[in-house]
Amino acid sequence: MTTITILPHPEYAPEGKTIEAQRGLSICKNLLAAGVEIEHACEMVCACTTCHIIVRKGFDSLNEPTDMEEDMLDKAWGLSAQSRLSCQAKVGAEDLTIEIPKYTINHAKEGH
């Protein structure tokens, strides 16, 4: 089983968390299934950047980003060379370590 380690984040994983992940499923869907309520304002259709993550370990095991994802990532706050939209990045065979950025472009959230 592949694991995803989430580095500490004040809202989504204050003490960090490691979850078992289903291969072939997006990082976002795996996080949500494990109770990590990462924001995903566009309902995972690659139309926003609220599920932006930085992959600190295992980046090369993920599927290649599409042109659409790369275009959206250009709008993400805190973009890095290891940035992905968690709704588009599919879990592969390697364990992952991810960081959920402290801020998103969607500063005001509806209902929480």
* Residue-wise pLDDT tens digits, 22-80: 999 999 999 999 999 999 999 999 999 999 999 999 999 999 999 999 999 999 989 99
Residue with tokens 């959230």: 109
pLDDT band at 110 (very low <50, low <70, confident <90, very high): very low
State the pLDDT at residue 106.
59
Rounded to a whole number, what is the largest CA-CA distance in the chain? 36
Class of the CATH domain delimited by 2-99: alpha beta
pLDDT recorded at residue 1? 86
> How many angstroms separate the CA atoms of 48 and 61, rounded?
23
Residue 54 belongs to what H/E stretch? strand 52-57
88: number of Cβ within 10 Å: 22
pLDDT in tens, 70-84: 999 999 989 999 999
CA distance 89 to 8: 20
CB-CB contact of 58 with 95 (8 Å): yes
pTM above 0.85, yes or no: yes
> What is the C-alpha separation between 100 and 39, in angstroms, rounded?
10
User: In the prediction, which pLDDT does 14 show?
Assistant: 95
